Structure 1
Amino acid sequence: MSEEKNILEVKDLSLHFGRGEDEVKAVDQVSFTVAKGETVALVGESGSGKSMSALSLTKLVPRAARFEGGSVMFAGKNMLELEERELRQIRGSRISYIFQEPMVSFNPVFTIGWQIEEALKLHRKGIDRKAEVARLLDVVHLPVRLAGAFPHQMSGGQLQRCMIAMALACSPDLLVADEPTTALDVTVQREILNLLAELSEKTGQSVLMITHNFGIVADLADRVYVMQRGKVVEEGTTRQVLYDPQHEYTKKLMAAVPRLLPKECPTT
């Protein structure tokens, strides 16, 4: 992928916790790119560093974390060098996140519509916000009446759709989906994945998908980076990684994917 087409370029990113013998290299010289209109997956088990890598893009990391090197180039700027004021202008506006726990991402005392309007008020001036909320709910296949609902009145799947609507409110250049279906039932997971695939196809949205699920990778990703203990150990197209994995860790992850075996016929 040519550099001109890349919307995001992460190079040698390092994020550490603690010092001395207690130092943990949560992200250890990680490099990856996302092109315009491309869906890229960071894959690995819990603790592999994939979520920290994603949060590092806009410096949404815990206070105890230290950036020890590397760069995150987005829109011609190194995000790691920006002040908090500049980062706030990019978060939610040009880079939006979808997290895995929608219930804790919404304020329980305000309606969904009000909260989406607040995102619009912050980043988009001079528009009919109520009309835009209705449009966004329609985009994620929810009835406009749910704009007046409170978070506790909605199902997990509905809330996740609302989070996607909020993430899309400012037409971001990059959508970061961090385990967006983990807390949902299997049938609802499929609905959310179908929605993300539909949005990517219709809008040409660039997506960075954080997941441990190779089923999601097979359905949505164009390219894959496999992470283990803070490092990228394998990268390639989805087809290359799924059908011809080179690293032993990737092979083990693939072997751990549940498979349906044919039921044995009883003998008579």
Structure 2
Amino acid sequence: MTDSKSIIEVKDLRVHFGRGDDLVKAVDGVSFSILHGETLALVGESGSGKSISALSLTKLAPRQATYAGGEVMFGGQDMLTLPDADLRKIRGRRISYIFQEPMVSFNPVFTIGWQIEEALTLHRKEVDRKAEVARLLDLVHLPARLTRAFPHEMSGGQLQRCMIAMALACSPELLVADEPTTALDVTVQREILNLLKELSEKVGLSILMITHNLGIVSDLADRVCVMQKGKIVEEGETRQVLDAPQHAYTKQLMAAVPRLRPKK
């Protein structure tokens, strides 16, 4: 059973691709939990298994994936054994995702307002959809007039804010942010990270942040798990991991963070 203080608990998760000599253990015995209102960063280079771990929380990993073992306990249920019909009620409603390419996440032929309304239509039919869209845009610091805008009329930063608004449309308990700032320039990255931190504090949102860059988690994450080759090699409170990394791989990631001046 999930710890009463945890919103989600992952135990010995194993996700494989292929079989026999071609077997790839993309996620190899990963365990972590996220507390209510906490932000956990899952950090590692491309191919380390962090995104597959995040997608596996609601069984959204590619069809070729095999869930070879473990548990994902959420709301007293193991997500890996739930029927698809029950999973669909949780995806987007209780666990929402935002991704790194906001431009390809929106349909180019519909307005932003229409697309956010669609999320409300699926999960919250009882609300005044237009008023709620305006409230959501205000929550991510965008003017209500953008409901009439098409994706190509907006900047990358504005689209990512709209993606966050859409993810929050159903008041989820957990937000999974998979490399949400990769496609943005540095100043916009900071704005999006500040926004996620503000939302975490304002609405008590739990966040799983997926990133390859330890440099962006220092102000946002409460705890950090470092992944390498499908395993978690180091975990701890953010400042502890950043100030005194113990594993050689964590030290390599820290050395790759750009600095304006040499470290004394």
TM-score band by shorter chain is: over 0.9
1: distance between equivalents of 2:216 and 2:81? 33
User: 1:239, CA displacement in angstroms?
Assistant: 1.2
1:57 corresponds to:
57
TM-score by length of 1: 0.96
Indicate the residue corresponding to 2:113 in structure 1.
113
CA contact (8 A) 2:213 2:253 kept: no
1:86-97 matches, within 5 Å, as 86-97=86-97
Q: Aligned with 2:219: secondary structure?
A: helix
Partner SS for 1:200: helix
* Structure 1 residue ranges, 4+ long, deviating more than 2 angstroms after superposition: none
List gaps (5 residues or longer) in structure 1: 263-268
Equivalence for 2:40? 40
Task: Return 5+ residue gaps in structure 2 as ranges.
Answer: none
CA distance in 2 between partners of 1:246 and 1:3 (Å): 27
CA contact (8 A) 2:112 2:149 kept: yes
Q: Does 1:151 align with 2:184?
A: no
Match of 1:166 in 2: 166
Normalised by the length of structure 2, the TM-score is 0.97
Distance 1:186 1:258 in 2: 12
Q: CA deviation at 1:215?
A: 2.0
Alignment partners' CA distance in 1, 2:194 and 2:257:
20
Q: Structure 1, residues 182-228: CA drift from partner, whole Å, max 9, x if none?
A: 00011111111111111111111100000111122101000010000
- Per-residue deviation, 1:101: 0.3
The structure with more radius of gyration: 1
Q: Distance in 1 between matches of 2:186 and 2:239?
A: 24
Aligned pairs, number: 261
1:78-125 Cα distance to aligned partner (Å, 9 max, x none)? 000011111110000000001000011111111110010010011112
User: Hey, what does 1:212 align to over in structure 2?
Assistant: 212
Residues 192-231 of structure 1 correspond to what in structure 2 (within 5 A)?
Answer: 192-231=192-231
How many angstroms apart in 2 are the aligned matches of 1:144 and 1:215?
33
- After TM superposition, list the pairs within 5 Å mapping 1:250-261 onto structure 2: 250-261=250-261
2:112–2:148 contact (8 Å) kept in structure 1: yes
Q: CA RMSD in A?
A: 1.0
Inter-partner Cα distance in structure 2 for 1:186 and 1:222: 22
Amino acid at match of 2:25: K
1:184 match: secondary structure:
coil
- Aligned-pair distance for 1:132? 0.1
